[in-house]
Structure 1
């Protein structure tokens, strides 16, 4: 307690004691902050944002993944973990809600130190798909994540989407030290071959304009389906065993034992190809490492 003289003014001894107590309290507070750590910012996910990336992306590695929707958002942490296992430079997602992609990006950044730019290829707003308010439902479609910046983003809806709106998006980024056009698409339902043929025609016309292109996506068609002929004429799948002929041996990419997911390359040679089954989607995760050499004509 403070002491005072007859006038009621605290003595010098009391003032010194009071300052000492305040300094002690401040030191104890600082010690607690060091032990407990800073408060997480509003909306932050588990795990603190590292000052520097914990790890880097793998250069020239690309991935395509239909992340499955509606499959619930409880799998976003697991999806991020699957992606971080391969740490691709470029990722194409289909059946992607903007809200889910943002959560996945946060997990990748906060837990794994993997930082990505993002562009979206929204084709519809649907509350039953992506939640949101009745008057402003969530955005649904495709997304491209890239460690390098992206430019010249376009988003195109196909004239006929089939049973649901479908489209493609495209961006320009850097892969192998050179600019490359990256396309990401999701074609019409697997029982709508005629509609897919029209969609491939729209997509192939744009792909043909570029000497170097990566075409990612869920094509909802097996390799020897005739509607994919125009894409096969322009590019090759990164799986060296998979060709649009009966002699091709294509690995499956879906839970129903079909190959529907592709990484097509135009003007770029593949170095490695892999497929990973996961519990977070009815589509497998497809990844590939790319080389700088042009595909022989």
Structure 2
């Protein structure tokens, strides 16, 4: 009966077996927190509960969250749980880079889509989706949207770079990404970069933006011990919230979670001062980078 109802009602209704909302900790946010931005590699394939993932997000209730290693089906369920169980309404945009049954299930002739997604409490426009010319051992790419953060239009990027031990591939991917970010005076870049701060492949990003963690900088030959909080179960900082332009972080937090080998990373941004400066214009994909969507 449950399966039949789920088929009729579609993905907007939770179907992971959760009939009641999972209790949140006492310090959980009651509503979406304006200016709170989060990034999270949700781990795939990890066979984790989307109910649990939704509860983790609901605990901090960011205005904006970039997800990596995401399947469309999982994101649909997470978004439905956030709405029906916790009263949190999010818009969604996708930046899928491959269809893979092993990653995302589905029928052999129609495997699930895998890549990035952005959930936003404010509407999003001007979605761009670019696959990197060389993804490394697996297709990779970035997506971008424009939405309102701190009262002003802001370009938001979400990416996942090549896996570890592929430094040269990541360096080229970062070059492509930095070329797309550079035209914007106000931008947020979220993602799993699979690289620690001092690695050469991140030089292009550090030249454009700062990390939301004010203590984390790529000081040569490496950051002082303990200045960059780790974001993974293997005690490395791979996840970043890069800020470009008039975006001021008020507080920064890394939250370990049982639902992924990457921690939840979020920052609260200060409200933007009134300005007459024009909103950023849409960037064009780098030459040679295929564009889809």
Instruction: Provide the TM-score with structure 1 as the length reference.
Output: 0.81
Q: Is the 8 A contact 1:97 1:139 kept in 2?
A: yes
The aligned residue for residue 258 of structure 1 is 236
Mapped to 1, the partners of 2:164 and 2:218 lie a distance apart of 17
The aligned residue for residue 268 of structure 2 is 289
Q: Is the 8 A contact 1:67 1:281 kept in 2?
A: yes
Q: Going by fraction, where is helix more abundant, 1 or 2? A: 1
**Counterparts in 2 of 1:29-178, with a 5 A limit?**
42-43=9-10, 44-45=13-14, 46-47=18-19, 55-72=30-47, 74-178=48-152
Mapped to 1, the partners of 2:177 and 2:165 lie a distance apart of 19
Q: Is the 8 A contact 1:48 1:110 kept in 2?
A: no
Residue 172 of structure 1 and its aligned partner are, at CA, apart by 0.1
Residue 42 of structure 1 and its aligned partner are, at CA, apart by 3.3
Secondary structure of the residue that 1:78 maps to in structure 2? helix
The aligned residue for residue 30 of structure 1 is none
Mapped to 2, the partners of 1:156 and 1:252 lie a distance apart of 28
Instruction: Tell me the C-alpha RMSD between the 2 structures.
Output: 1.8
1:120-145 per-position Cα deviation (integer Å, ceiling 9, x unaligned): 00000000000001111000000000
Mapped to 1, the partners of 2:149 and 2:69 lie a distance apart of 25
Mapped to 1, the partners of 2:170 and 2:59 lie a distance apart of 32
Higher relative contact order (CA 8 A, sep 6+): 2
Segments of 5+ residues of structure 1 without an aligned counterpart are: 1-38
Mapped to 2, the partners of 1:233 and 1:67 lie a distance apart of 28
Mapped to 2, the partners of 1:284 and 1:75 lie a distance apart of 16
1:100-134 per-position Cα deviation (integer Å, ceiling 9, x unaligned): 00010011001100000000000000000000011
Residue 188 of structure 1 and its aligned partner are, at CA, apart by 0.4
Residue 47 of structure 1 and its aligned partner are, at CA, apart by 4.9
1:203-232 per-position Cα deviation (integer Å, ceiling 9, x unaligned): 001111100000000000000001000100
Alignment of 1:270 onto 2:282: no
Instruction: Provide the TM-score with structure 2 as the length reference.
Output: 0.82
Q: Is the 8 A contact 2:151 2:272 kept in 1?
A: no
Residue 75 of structure 1 and its aligned partner are, at CA, apart by 1.4
The aligned residue for residue 183 of structure 2 is 209
Mapped to 2, the partners of 1:156 and 1:250 lie a distance apart of 29
Q: Is the 8 A contact 1:235 1:264 kept in 2?
A: yes
Segments of 5+ residues of structure 2 without an aligned counterpart are: 22-28, 274-293
Secondary structure of the residue that 1:195 maps to in structure 2? helix
Secondary structure of the residue that 1:202 maps to in structure 2? helix
Mapped to 1, the partners of 2:108 and 2:19 lie a distance apart of 33
Q: Is the 8 A contact 2:83 2:89 kept in 1?
A: yes
How many residues are aligned here?
Answer: 251
Alignment of 1:222 onto 2:196: yes
